[in-house]
Amino acid sequence: MKNWWWKIAAIALVLYSITMGFMGNVPHLNILNETIRNLYFHVPLWFAMLVQMGISWFFALRYLNGYNIKYDMLSSRAAYVGGMFALPGLITGSIWATYTWGKPWVAEDPKLQGVMAAMLVYFVYYLLRALIPDAQTKARISAVYNIFAFIMTFVFIMIYPRLAPSSLHPGNGGNPAFGKYDMDNDMRMVFYPACLGWILMSVWLLNVLNRMKKLQYNLDNDEKIN
C-alpha cells in the first residue's frame, strides 16, 4: 500500500490533464486556435521521454562503475520506455504541425532534426543489444554506446539549434523557454500537472518492465538478484 500513492497520483493527473485539456479554456491565438490544446499532450510526452533517457544514461554510468547487471536492466528498460514515449510524442507533433505549419514534417527545423537523430540513436541502441548474445558483454558495450550517444544527442539538441538560424518552435533558436509559450494561467494549471502526470506514468512503466525483466532473469539464472 505504501508504494501506491504515486501511481494513483499519476492516473489522477493524467486523467485530469486529458479532461481539462479538452474542456478547459484556452486563449484563441492566431493560427494556433484550438490546436494549442496539443501542448498538454505533445510537450509532456517529450519531457517524459527526456526523463527516461536521462535515467537510462545515469544507470549506464552506474553499470560501468562496478558491472552490476541490475543497473543494466534499469538502463535498457528506461531506453525502451523512452522509445515508447517518443513515438506518441512524434505523432502528436506531426498532427500539430499539419494544422499550424501546413505539413507534418518540416525537415528544416533544427528541433525536428534533433529528434530524428535521437530516435535513430536509440533504435541503433536496441539493434546493438539484439546483436550481442552474451549478457555481460551486451551490457558493457551498450552502456558505452548509450553514454556516448546520449551526450552527442544532447549536444545536437542543445547546441546546434542555438547556432542554426530560426526554428519554427516557440522560443526562437530552439530555446525551449517556458516564458515564451503563449500560455495564460488557465493553461498553466493544466500543463504542469500534465507534465508531472506523464513523467510519473513513464516511471511506473519503467518499474513494471524492470520487474518483469528481473523475474525473467531469476528464472533463467541460478544466481538471483532482487
Partner 1 sequence: MNTSNIIALLRKEFLLEFRQKTSLASILLYVLSIVFISFLSFKNGIKPDVWGALFWIVLFFAAINAASKSFFTESKARGIYNYTLYHPTEFVVAKIIYNILLLWVVSICSVFCFSWLINYPVQDSLLFLFTLLIGSTALAGALTLMSCIASKTGNSYSVMSLLSMPVCIPVMLMSLRLTRNAIDGLEWSVSYNFLGGLFLIDVIIITLSLFLFRYLWKE
Over the range 148-161, which residues count as b (16 or more CB within 10 Å of their CB) and which as e?
ebbeebbebbeeeb
Nearer Cβ to partner 1 (134/222) = 134
Can you tell me which of 79, 121, 201, 206 binds partner 1, judged by CB under 8 A?
121
Query: Cα(173)–Cα(15) distance, rounded to whole angstroms?
Result: 33
**Which cell numbers hold the place of 15?**
486523467
Cell 498553466 found at: 188
Judged by CB under 8 A, does residue 81 bind partner 1? no
Judged by CB under 8 A, does residue 137 bind partner 1? yes
Residues numbered 60 to 79 that lie near partner 1 (CB under 8 A) are 64
Residue count (the chain): 226
Judged by CB under 8 A, does residue 107 bind partner 1? no
Q: How far is the CB of 188 from partner 1 (least distance, A)?
A: 33
Q: CB within 8 A of 89, min separation 6: which ones?
A: 42, 45, 46, 49
**Which cell numbers hold the place of 216?**
525473467
- The footprint of partner 1 on this chain (CB under 8 A) covers a number of residues equal to 28
Residues numbered 139 to 178 that lie near partner 1 (CB under 8 A) are 140-141, 143-145, 147-149, 151-153, 155-156, 159-160, 163-164
- 37: left (phi > 0), else alpha (psi -120 to 50), else beta? alpha
| Contact region with partner 1 (CB under 8 A), list: 38-46, 128-136, 177-185, 192-200 | 128-136
Binding site for partner 1 (CB under 8 A): 64, 113, 117, 120-121, 124, 127-128, 131-132, 137, 140-141, 143-145, 147-149, 151-153, 155-156, 159-160, 163-164
